[in-house]
Each structure stands twice: as C-alpha cells, then as structure tokens.
Amino acid sequence: MFQILKLDSDINFMRWRGPAGIFSIILVIASLALVGVRGLNMGLDFTGGTLVELEFSKSVVASDIRAVLDQEGFESATVQAYGSSTDMLVRLPPVEQASAETLNNKITQVLKTQMDDQVVIKRTEFVGPVVGKELMESALLAMVVALICILIYVAFRFEWRLGAGAVAALFHDVSLIFGFYALSQLEFNLTTVAGVLSVIGYSLNDTIVVFDRIRENFRKVRKQAEIAITNASLTQTLSRTLITSFTTLVVLFALYFAGGELLATFSASLIVGVVVGSYSSIYIATTTALGLGLTRESLIPEEIEKEGADQQPML
C-alpha cells in the first residue's frame, strides 16, 4: 500500500495553534488593509463601461492603436495586448447612455478603416453603470446569504461553536482571496465571484470532514483531553485532506493553463482558496471552536444514538 504519510503517532497540531492564530490574524488584517489601500481591480461587470476584444490579421503595437483611437476622440481608451501580439483588448470607462450603446461598433469601425481591414471582433461587452452596480450588489448578497445559510446548517447539524468555527474559517479564506486579488491586481469580475463562492464550498467541505471526525472521536474516546482528541482527529483526516487538495489543485491548474484567459482568473482564486482552505480547516475552524469552549459534553447528545443505527445499512 502506497501512503503519503506513515504516521505512528498523532501530530501535535494544537501545539502551534497560538502562533498560527496570530499569523492568520495578521494575514487577515493585512489582506483587508490591502483591499482598503490598493483596492480591487474591478472588471467591467462591476464598473460598467465598454470592452472590445479584437484579433488583428498581423502583429500590432498597443500604442499605435491608442494613437488612432486618441485621434478619433476616444481619449480615455486603454489598449492592452491579450495573450499574443495580434490579440488586443480595448476598454472604455462608462459614459453617458446615449452614445455608449454604439461605442463598440464605432471603435471597430475606426480600427477597421485605419488599422487593419481584416480585424475580427472576438468579443464585445457593454455594461451600463446602473447594471454594474446591481451586479455587484447581487454578488455581495450571494456571498453574505451563503455564509449565513452555512452557519445555520452547521449549527443545526453539529453545534453552534463548530458553526462559528466554520464561518470564522470561511471569513479567513475569503479575506485572504480578496487580499490576493488586491495584491496581484488580477481582474475581479462576476466569474471571480463564482470562484470565491466555490472556495467557500470547498473550504467548508474540508472543515466539515474534520468536524465530523472530531465529533466521532469525542463520542468514542472517553479518556483523553479535548486537545489530544482534536490532534488525533486532524492526524486521521490529514492524508485525505492532502490527497483531495492535490487532485483539486491538479484539475485547477489544468483549467488555469488550458482554459483560456476567461477562466484563468477564476481558477486563480480557487487555487489560492484550496491552499488557504486546507490550512484554515485545521487551524482556524478547530481553534475557534475550542476557543469558544467546545467540550466533549457539547457534542454528546443527551440520548446517545448513532445516526442511522436503528436502520438497515443503506449501502
């Protein structure tokens, strides 16, 4: 049998919970500060504006396009090479409604006549400023509602201290991803939000597996202290955590490199999230639950009954 870990005794994870907690608090504060100071590089979905992605038939220089657009009155246009020297991305900030509707058509017309008559439009996007604001609001709402529903479910299924631990871990993960986006200035758009939300799902998955084992061991092992049982549970689930993180990361890197630019930002948020999420389910989620006074008694129901014990096994 091939094993990543051959462990004879439990790893004393909780020995480092003090330093790990301080480390995480510093990271979270630093991330939030970064978001506050540098801000996120908000994509078109949220800011509103116009975007045109073009493929030229020959190699072009971004500054030439900018010069042509400048001349035609699009002073605020930004041009950037996108992947190769024939792919260009032109962006315009939101403007007054009346003219905005046809901006992408005008830009293409100008570039067609003045630069390259074989230019191909790969993608255009126009988002009105009002819609951008609404998309942002609905994205934020989705995140908050998701966190609340998860808290309720975990509190109902396990215990409120574990619920609070899970949400603390999620808050930690989401903050760090935001920090990552503020630091790297990668574009933050609707797809990124989907990425952040799947990190919530993934990290939670990890946390629940750990909690499940802690609950099981608390019920089974009567003699040891809480800390020792927690260490044992974390050790038992460690190889699973590593394997799943590994397979998920492999798949995410496939998306990052082969999925194209549109999916790259999405997978980047998930890659960060998977690493951070595995760490937080060990240190943030359990430490918080223990810190809130999780004891054996809180996990043992008055009437001890293993779920489904009175039923025929389904599988």
Compute the least distance from the CB of residue 108 to other proteins, in Å: 8
Coil, helix or strand at residue 56:
coil
Q: What φ, ψ does residue 82 adopt, rounded to 5°?
A: -130, 90
Nearer Cβ to other proteins (204/234): 204
- Residue whose CB is less far from other proteins, 79 or 135: 135
Q: Which is nearer to other proteins, 16 or 125 (CB)?
A: 125
Q: Which is nearer to other proteins, 37 or 315 (CB)?
A: 315
The interface mask with other proteins, positions 20-59, x = CB under 8 A, is ---------------------------------x-x----
* Residue 314: exposure state from Cβ atoms within 10 A (0-12, 13-18, ≥19): exposed
The DSSP secondary-structure symbol of 14 reads G
Q: What are phi and psi of 174, to 5 degrees?
A: -65, -40
Judged by beta carbon, residue 79 or residue 107, the one nearer other proteins is 107
Contact between 15 and other proteins per CB under 8 A: no
x/- map, 284-313, other proteins, by CB under 8 A: -----------------------x-----x
Q: How far apart are CA 54 and CA 120, in angstroms?
A: 6
Residues in 56-115 that interact with other proteins by CB under 8 A? 97, 101-102, 104-105
Question: In angstroms, what CA-CA distances link 256 with 19, 259, 265, 272, 282?
Answer: 33, 6, 8, 12, 26
Q: Which of residues 182-241 bind other proteins (CB under 8 A)?
A: 190-191, 193-194, 197-198, 200-202, 204-205, 208-209, 212-213, 216, 236, 239-240
Distance between CA 22 and CA 70 in Å, rounded?
Answer: 51
Contact 178, 140 (CB under 8 A): no
Distance spanning both ends of the chain, measured CA to CA: 25
Among 150, 229, 271, 272, binds other proteins (CB under 8 A): 150
